[in-house]
A and B are shown apart, each in its own frame.
Chain A
């Protein structure tokens, strides 16, 4: 068992927000996705105050060892999420973490308060990788801005608050410190790295309908390792580490860097049950003992 923000989780593997849609997966695979959910807690995709249709296509680009997405956070809005989606999670055998976003601190607090009132929701993750339309600053990229927004959100809920940090900032550890000072219970990182694929027609235009998106996958794994380690040095908060995790060894490396939980995201696109595999491989690695032991003393360990 792993303790995280007062929750007792069966193993350290969760999903990255927006990388596993349980309701859609149930349409494709049946109830087995609920019964055998690959994650020890389920993180919803981002929910906003008003419904969003998402960005114009194309929304995807494949790059070396990764992909760029510009999905644009399509969702039905918090009222419909609570009324329509939440009942469908009733049979969920693991804690539900709801991810929320707002275009201002006020709006984020309003969505947080709405989901915070529901007992089915165990914790709230704040997506701060967006501009504040009130100040023009990227909420998650500017420590002072982040601290003010998280402080405001903190005042409206007693639920555990996880701040999802953006890697698109000068020093992510300063942002983590700001989140901690504002009363966050945990941080999660990394979100996708800003990326802008060029159209393959050679005219120099952009490929994505929204012009730019975020890079994920194994291409960013070592960036995640560096950022998780930097944050772990500066804050005492538990960390959900993620970025390009494909197997148990990758999860172990993020735990070694200071993470308490590990998120699997893009790998679930390539293998819907990737979370099960990563958790199993991680458990097997843990049984073997510290890395290198058997290599150094092969005879002694038999």
Chain B
């Protein structure tokens, strides 16, 4: 199966086909606390790491608690190639419940890829701007540190693979989970450092402690992170205090995913709001004064 060619917008992002399209479940697999979902999306272009898709099932959407879900749900794929999409899901509400009970052959509505993904710094970051000249080269040389917390794993996995394909073998992968059942999904990432809140697997504590240790070792780094809001806020505070550039993949409830509803507003340090769906979901940490809980 062959994926459609990728059309790109003025800012370089992969554009989505206009409208929702049908995709079929190829496989589902339970790995610890998560469900891995593979879709055949033959009409979809390959997504950039950090971009996301809006998903809804064709049948049974609205058949859950309180007659929900009604709106599609946003998920960033772990992989997107050859007309296939791979997602990681955890049953935490009516939308994810329906999606985690999908069976092979069932149909979904898919819109995407949407939003702006991770980027290698093309120019100097705001931190380095006053130094001038060789900043782009310095940014390029920064060691990528990839930080994932729990359900934030998928875009980090996709970005880790993309960095590997670009020859960045120096990238460091830090993964944090609640417990061993959630950490089971990390077994396939042999080079990663692992932390669990309860110490049942890897370092006992938060993944941000692993990040702090890595930055102690070599602060000339570029951080990429995705995870729950409190974790992202801890990452933001850490990199801000140490003047390290970071790109954060944010999550937000959103109705549409393409800038129509203005529901996914995130407050900016400079005042006002950005839309997570079109201005993000990957945003420069320096743009935010905090990662909000909602």
Q: Which residue of B lies closest to A271 (CB)?
A: B20
Which residues of B are found within 8 Å of A19, using beta-carbon distances? 260-261
Cα A269 to Cα B181 in complex, Å, equals: 35
Cβ contact within 8 Å between B70 and A217: yes
Residues 18-41 of chain A, each 1 if its beta carbon lies under 8 Å from chain B, else 0: 111101111111101100100000
Residues of A within 8 Å of B272, CB to CB, are 53
* A residues less than 8 Å from B263 (CB atoms): 59-60, 69, 71
B258–A71 CB distance below 8 A:
no
Which of B19, B70, B253 is close to A276, meaning CB atoms less than 8 Å apart?
B19
Q: B20 and A272: CB pair below 8 A? A: yes
| Interface set, chain B 241-294, CB cutoff 8 A to A | 252-267, 271-273, 275, 278, 292, 294
Q: Is the CB of B260 within 8 A of A20?
A: yes
A62 at the interface (CB under 8 A from B): yes
A212 on interface, CB distance cutoff 8 Å: no
Are A57 and B294 closer than 8 Å at their CB atoms?
yes
Given A27-B9, A30-B9, A57-B294, A270-B72 contact (CB < 8 Å): yes
B109 within 8 A of A: yes
Does B262 contact A74, Cβ atoms closer than 8 Å? yes
Q: Is B292 a contact of A21 with CB atoms below 8 Å? A: no
CA distance A272 to B115 in the complex (A): 15
Residue of B nearest to A69 (CB): B263
**A residues less than 8 Å from B17 (CB atoms):** 29
Does B218 interact with chain A (Cβ within 8 Å)? no
Q: Is the pair A269, B16 in contact by a Cβ cutoff of 8 Å?
A: no
Classify chain A's interface size.
35 or more
Q: Are A57 and B265 in contact (CB under 8 A)?
A: yes
- A58-B253, A74-B262 as given contacts; A270 in contact with B20, CB under 8 Å: yes
Report the minimal beta-carbon distance from B174 to chain A, rounded to whole angstroms.
29
Whose C-beta in chain A lies nearest to the C-beta of B265? A57
Would B70 and A21 count as touching, CB distance under 8 A? Answer: no
Complex CA gap A56/B292 in Å reads 11
Is A67 positioned at the interface, with any CB of B under 8 Å from its CB? yes
A28:B278 contact, CB within 8 angstroms: yes
Chain B contact patch, size range: 35 or more
Closest approach, in angstroms, between the C-beta of A24 and any C-beta of chain B?
2
Cα-based distance from A64 to B20 in the complex (angstroms):
22
A65 touching B67, Cβ below 8 Å: yes
CB neighbours of A25 from chain B (8 A): 258-260
B260 touches A21 (CB 8 A): yes
| Measured CA separation A158–B197 after assembly (Å) | 66
A65 and B70 in contact, given A60-B253, A271-B20, A273-B19 (Cβ under 8 angstroms): yes
> B82 interface residue, CB < 8 Å from A?
no
Min Cβ gap A169→B in Å is 25
The total of Cβ contacts below 8 Å across the A-B interface reads 130
B258 pairs with A271, CB closer than 8 A = no
Q: When the two chains form their complex, are residues A62 and B294 in contact, meaning their CB atoms are under 8 A apart?
A: no
Q: How far is the CA of A295 from the CA of B266 in the complex (A)?
A: 53
Nearest CB of A to B178, in Å: 20
A268 within 8 A of B: yes
B114: Cβ under 8 A from any A Cβ: yes
Q: Would A28 and B259 count as touching, CB distance under 8 A?
A: yes
Complex-state Cα separation, A217 to B62, whole angstroms: 13
In the assembled complex, how far is the CB of residue A268 from the closest CB belonging to chain B, in whole angstroms? 6
Q: Are A24 and B70 in contact, with the CB atoms below 8 A?
A: no
Q: Does B111 contact A (CB under 8 A)?
A: yes
Task: Contact check, B259 vs A54: say whether CB atoms are below 8 A apart.
Answer: no
B68 adjacent to chain A (CB < 8 Å): yes
B11 near A: Cβ within 8 Å? yes
Which chain A residue shows the least CB distance to B69?
Answer: A62
Question: Known interface pairs A29-B17, A30-B15, A276-B19. Does A269 touch B261 (Cβ–Cβ under 8 Å)?
Answer: yes
| Contact present for A67 and B7 (CB under 8 Å) | no
For the complex, is B66 an interface residue (Cβ under 8 Å from A)?
yes
Chain A residues within an 8 Å CB radius of B259: 21, 23-25, 27-28
Q: A66 at the A/B interface (Cβ < 8 Å)?
A: yes
Chain B residue nearest to A75 in the complex (CB): B262
- In residues 76-128 of chain B, which contact A (Cβ within 8 Å)? 109, 111, 114-115
Question: Closest Cβ of chain A: how far from B230's Cβ, in Å?
Answer: 16
Q: Who on chain A is nearest to B70 by CB? A: A62
Select one of B19, B255, B257 contacting A69, CB under 8 A.
B255
Q: With A and B bound together, what is the CA distance between A53 and B271 in angstroms? A: 9
A293 at the interface (CB under 8 A from B): no
Question: Contact between A64 and B70 (Cβ–Cβ < 8 Å)?
Answer: yes
B-side contacts of A26, CB under 8 Å: 9
Whether a CB of chain B sits under 8 angstroms from the CB of A155 is no
Distance in Å from the Cβ of B16 to the closest Cβ of chain A? Answer: 6
| Complex Cα–Cα for A74 and B263 (A) | 11
Partner of A269, one of B62, B114, B255, B273: B255
| CB-based contact A29/B66 at 8 Å | no
State how many angstroms separate the Cβ of A107 from the closest Cβ of chain B: 21
- Distance in angstroms from B250 CB to nearest chain A CB is 12
Q: What are 17 A-to-B residue pairs whose CB atoms are below 8 Å?
A: A24-B258, A25-B259, A27-B9, A28-B15, A28-B114, A29-B258, A53-B271, A57-B265, A58-B253, A58-B294, A60-B254, A60-B264, A64-B70, A67-B255, A69-B261, A71-B263, A269-B260
* Besides A21-B259, A217-B70, A270-B71, 6 new A-B residue pairs in contact (Cβ under 8 A), listed by A number: A64-B68, A71-B261, A74-B273, A271-B109, A272-B19, A273-B18
What are the 10 closest A-B residue pairs judged by CB atoms, nearest first? A24-B259, A273-B19, A64-B67, A60-B263, A269-B256, A28-B258, A269-B255, A29-B18, A30-B15, A71-B262
